[in-house]
Structure 1
Amino acid sequence: MKLAFVISPQSLLTGIALPVEMFYAASRHRVRRRSNTPLSIQLVGETLQPQRAVGGLNVQADHTFAQADKADLVFVPPMWGTPWPVISQSQPMQSWLVEQYQQGARLAATGTGVGHLAQAGLLDSRVATTHWYYLDRFRQRYPQVNFEGHHFVTHEDGLYCAGSINAQTDLVLFLIEQTFGEEALALVERQFMHELKRTFSTPYYEPGGAVHHDEGVSLVQSWVRQHLTDDITLANLAGLVDQSARNFSRRFQAATGESPMAYVLRLRLDSARELLRDTNLTVAEVGEACGFRTAAYFGRVFRERLSMTPGEYRKMVRSKLFAAG
């Protein structure tokens, strides 16, 4: 996994440092598990001279745009203050972003950093968002972009936009889960922001409201979300679209990248984490409310996926909540 962070004047260092640390934590976990998903990180700028960031701090690129390797994922941080001068004077950066995107990189911009993607023409006729304070001005300046004002994160065609640092954090967690898996996600949450846990299966808005275009699979997913407490079987799900279990499994996997029952289990675990955090239900009651057949099965699956018991999870998240208060 090759990450790149662009450096420009007025950059908010939080938009760089926090994703770097979160991805690094996830990658180190996978190294301990002997995964074959190594991580490399580069800071890329027009010059190798230090750039003045917020508060007078300096940040220095380790590669120029001409020297940088092809990245898998490029982050464009937000800027402090009026962004228009920096956006209008950053044509080399914007050209490099276009080049990276054309070579297959995904791009993730936050807040006013979205202006670089818009200025480069990458967001033309695509959905996007930005910080609420600048949203109307971005709409006026870039009328060809479909700015979405009701969602904090958007995605279309490998272009992610986050409205704020908090929204970027949600997006980073989602990307970590997609790259390194649920266990690494749980580790990062424990270290950084357990008290901010949300459901990351679809943390963003994108055209059609889903990550695929198979209406039958979307119907099944909607049904699952409404029937988590039921005894769900593969045959049940296949019957919703009048297919054999084997053919439906292939169809679901092609649309979502995971098997139908893995999807069911993931949603049940997401729901269980929320109930453990937000309610006083017993662990057994939480398991039952999320569709696990027995408390023992719930505890075993939870520990296998998250490397801790449900009780340990509840104790940790609540201790952080009270400590944060």
Structure 2
Amino acid sequence: MGARHEVAVLALPDVVAFELGLPHKLIGTAVDDEERLLYRVRVATLDGGPVRTSAGYQVLPEHDASILRTADTVIIPGIYSGSAKDRGVLEPDLAAALHGLSARMVSICTGAFVLAAAGLLDGRPAATHWMHAEAFQALFPQVKLDPDVLYVDDGDVLTSAGNAAGIDLLLHIVRRDHGAGVANRVARRSVVAPWREGGQSQFMEPMPDPDGPGTARTRAWAVERLHEPLGLADLAAHSAMSVRTFTRRFREETGMSPTRWLSTQRVAAARRLLETTELPVERIAAECGFGTTASLRQHLHAAIGVAPLAYRRTYRGAEG
């Protein structure tokens, strides 16, 4: 086994305390099949001195910003104050610390303001907490902010929304680096969900109320009929709307198109059956409306990067 992946977590003044501890808890506990740690996670402040946190106490790390120069990944948790968040510019010492880094850059929540102020998000897609999206867009119009998604993986720069979405992003990083099996073990030990798609909305949609307004009744109806070859025209007809009106209303209520929503529901149903039953993949494909195992494989791989049987094995392995 080679050297462990070096992760530097930069704690800035008014750092969000919860998010500061996430990298060590999640990335820092990832191990291989022989229980060897895969990452070394270290926390730094700009000068190595204490900084205040959002929880009303100070943290005193063992390192200063010099460790950013040799890190493979740099993580910036959310902040409540500072010139990056308030004015969209970096203090000189922070600008110097981030200049010319070759590391993979990661932000959680309002840490995206720091990456944007450093110019690292120019012309790139990014995420941050929805409550700060309007301020972010005003300060950084050159960034392609998606105010709805949980996280964005743009290769060497990754950003997330707040708190729980930071957990999702860090698990995604472990999964990207070492596969679903390793990430599932981390999730299992931390008692968190092993996977949520980055493109999923920050506003988690509950099961639709069949007596609710708008398209809710049709959504509840469709969830019970995923095995049928439902199309956009079928959904619109059930709602007694034109396709155009239904599509517009559906997007207003769910934040996504009917086609994407239906695909997401089918993938979720397939995952539940793979996790909780011994049904053959062919039967699961039929039950969830994919028709063929090839179609199920394609959709599942597009969503979470693994094939059905591989997903079942890794999930059961994590359970064990």
TM-score (structure 2 length as normaliser): 0.61
What's the secondary structure of 2:279's corresponding residue? helix
**Structure 2: which amino acid aligns with 1:76?**
I
Q: Which of the residues 25, 28, 32 maps onto 1:24?
A: 28
1:188 matched to 2:199: no
Structure 2 residues without counterparts, runs of 5 or longer: 201-226, 228-265, 286-292, 295-306
8 A contact 2:48–2:65 mirrored in 1: no
8 A contact 2:183–2:194 mirrored in 1: no
Residue pairs, 1:247-286, within 5 angstroms: 272-275=270-273, 282-284=277-279
- Name the CA shift for 1:197/1:180 in 2 (closer, same or farther; >3 Å): closer
Residue pairs, 1:78-117, within 5 angstroms: 78-80=78-80, 84=85, 88=89, 90-100=91-101, 103=102, 105-117=103-115
- Name the CA shift for 1:66/1:74 in 2 (closer, same or farther; >3 Å): closer
1 or 2, which has the higher helix percentage? 1
Q: Which of the residues 122, 125, 135 maps onto 2:123?
A: 125
- CA distance in structure 2 between the aligned counterparts of 1:115 and 1:58, rounded to whole angstroms: 22
**Structure 1: which amino acid aligns with 2:314?**
R
- Name the CA shift for 1:86/1:78 in 2 (closer, same or farther; >3 Å): farther
1:288 matched to 2:283: yes
- CA distance in structure 1 between the aligned counterparts of 2:116 and 2:184, rounded to whole angstroms: 34
8 A contact 2:65–2:97 mirrored in 1: yes
What's the secondary structure of 1:108's corresponding residue? strand
- Name the CA shift for 1:191/1:283 in 2 (closer, same or farther; >3 Å): same
- CA distance in structure 1 between the aligned counterparts of 2:168 and 2:116, rounded to whole angstroms: 22
Match of 1:253 in 2: none
- CA distance in structure 2 between the aligned counterparts of 1:189 and 1:119, rounded to whole angstroms: 32
- Name the CA shift for 1:90/1:61 in 2 (closer, same or farther; >3 Å): farther
Match of 2:147 in 1: 149
8 A contact 1:272–1:287 mirrored in 2: no
- CA distance in structure 2 between the aligned counterparts of 1:125 and 1:301, rounded to whole angstroms: 36
What's the secondary structure of 2:158's corresponding residue? strand
Match of 2:65 in 1: 65
- CA distance in structure 2 between the aligned counterparts of 1:97 and 1:133, rounded to whole angstroms: 26
- CA distance in structure 2 between the aligned counterparts of 1:5 and 1:149, rounded to whole angstroms: 24
Identity in percent: 22
1:276 Cα offset (Å): 5.5
Count the aligned residue pairs.
232
8 A contact 1:127–1:154 mirrored in 2: yes
Q: Which of the residues 12, 15, 19 maps onto 1:8?
A: 12
- CA distance in structure 1 between the aligned counterparts of 2:111 and 2:196, rounded to whole angstroms: 25
1:150 Cα offset (Å): 3.0
8 A contact 1:94–1:117 mirrored in 2: no
